[in-house]
Chains A and B, each alone.
Chain A
Amino acid sequence: MVFSTPGIQTARCDKVPGRRKRACDAATITRPCDADELKAPLPAETQADVQQGRFLSPPGNDQRWGEEMTDLRPAPPTESKALLRSLRERADDCRTQGRYERSEALYREALALAESVFGPDHLEVSALLNNLAVLYKYTGNFDEAEALYGRALRITEQKLGPDHVSVATIYHNLGGLEHARGRYATGEPFARRSVEIRERALGPHHVDVAADVAALAAILDGQRKYDESEPLYTRALAIFRAAYGEEHYEIAINLNNLAALKQARGHADEAEQLYRRALALKEKLLGPEHPDVAMTLNNLAVLLKKQGRHEEAAAMYRRALAIFEQALGAAHPKVIACRENYARLRRQMKSRADEGE
């Protein structure tokens, strides 16, 4: 049994192989001590050590104890932790719902709180840096996202080691950032690294591995490596279906991507079916005004235009643009791409109309 002295943070977690560092960083347990010692106030020099985050040598020169003591920062107040958790959850929800401005404000507030309570190099901070960077990818703030991922990666590798699944998550996201920038070849090593780390840790059939595989597939797809990409999408979808059934966000995203791949390979009918399934699923799961809905509307419009179904395509572009501009603003790369697609269609429609006159 171990007594806890308030204000001193460390952990023992011998029973959880592979999670030891993380638990040591997280838990609030202290050195063994007897009941009389607990009744006494902390010695002044100990309090000073705690306040300044200095290492406190244990009584009895216990080497194992010394190895496990990592941080003597005062334990964060319960209220701060609860507030932080609430902020993080609300920020994540807003990001998922496409309410990006609100999400950013909440992440910023949570980050400032986490840095003040835990210090700048804590895993709580790196988690928020990562999540805010994900948001910045979606809002098109790519340089800011890259800087935040870099800081999160440094903290996470330092605290958890280079082969931890949280490190895999940051590599996954760095690959995604390069995907969003259109720098697919740059993103490919990051994506491969995330698959490698997580597959080793969790096995080949885990849904998180499937997410890494799907992300890699998109990066290969962007480089027109269709022969490698398509079976990866198929593999990821099979894992997602087995775990989640047919109605899940991961299914919707990957149906959209598989449709785009089929479209690129000239399989228009199959692509249209997949797009329509993705669109229906997104509308049901995310609501009709979510920017992810606009992604599939845009893609389907490109397909329909190629088939000469211009009026249908135009209606889809108009709807996609309205959603995009509302959610992302006029200057976002996705909005620009969609607007240019629509402009090209309108030019073609006008040209045909002129020819018919």
Chain B
Amino acid sequence: MKTVYIEEIELNVEEVEEVIAPGLAATNHNETLVTDAG
């Protein structure tokens, strides 16, 4: 079993999130499609 240690205060939250929990980055785009009303 491998033992690691981490400086508690040095935790880089952004890196951790990037690797494990990416967050909700994807947003859709509301692009207009025009219909010909005549």
- Contact pick for B27, options A1, A126, A173, CB 8 Å: A173
Is chain A's interface secondary structure helix, strand, loop, or mixed overall?
helix
Given contacts A3-B3, A26-B17, 15 further A-B contacts (CB under 8 A): A1-B7, A22-B17, A23-B11, A23-B16, A27-B11, A28-B20, A92-B26, A95-B26, A169-B26, A211-B27, A215-B28, A215-B30, A218-B30, A299-B34, A341-B36
B3 adjacent to A218 (CB under 8 Å) = no
Give bound CA distance, A28 to B4, whole Å. Answer: 11
In this assembly, does A98 line the interface, its C-beta being within 8 Å of a C-beta of chain B? no
Is chain B's interface secondary structure helix, strand, loop, or mixed overall?
loop
- Contact pick for B28, options A2, A26, A27, A173, CB 8 Å: A173
Interface size on A, residues (CB 8 A): 80
In this assembly, does A226 line the interface, its C-beta being within 8 Å of a C-beta of chain B? no
Interface size on B, residues (CB 8 A): 32
A 141-181 to B, binary, CB cutoff 8 A, 1 in contact else 0:
00000000000100010000000001001101101110110
Give bound CA distance, A292 to B3, whole Å. Answer: 51
- Contact pick for A81, options B6, B9, B19, B24, CB 8 Å: B19
B32 adjacent to A130 (CB under 8 Å) = no
- Contact pick for A6, options B1, B32, B34, B38, CB 8 Å: B1
A29-B11, A305-B36 given; A124·B24 CB < 8 A: no
| Residues of chain A within 8 A of B23, CB atoms compared | 22, 123, 127, 166
Interface residues of A (CB under 8 A from B): 1-4, 6, 11-13, 15-16, 19, 22-23, 25-29, 38-39, 41, 76, 81, 85, 88, 92, 95, 122-124, 126-127, 130-131, 134, 137-138, 152, 156, 166, 169-170, 172-173, 175-177, 179-180, 208, 211-212, 214-215, 218-219, 221-222, 250, 253, 256-257, 260-261, 263, 292, 295, 298-299, 302-303, 305-306, 334, 337-338, 340-341, 344-345
Give bound CA distance, A295 to B29, whole Å. Answer: 12
The 5 A-B pairs with the shortest beta carbon distances in the complex, nearest first, are A218-B30, A176-B28, A260-B32, A166-B24, A26-B21
A127 adjacent to B24 (CB under 8 Å) = yes
A6 adjacent to B2 (CB under 8 Å) = yes
Give bound CA distance, A122 to B27, whole Å. Answer: 19
Give bound CA distance, A95 to B6, whole Å. Answer: 37
Give bound CA distance, A145 to B6, whole Å. Answer: 40
B30 adjacent to A124 (CB under 8 Å) = no
A65 vs chain B, min Cβ distance (A): 12
Give bound CA distance, A169 to B29, whole Å. Answer: 12
Give bound CA distance, A36 to B33, whole Å. Answer: 67
Give bound CA distance, A25 to B17, whole Å. Answer: 9
| Residues of chain B within 8 A of A12, CB atoms compared | 8, 11
9 contacts between A and B (CB under 8 A): A4-B3, A11-B16, A23-B13, A26-B16, A28-B16, A85-B19, A127-B21, A173-B28, A298-B34
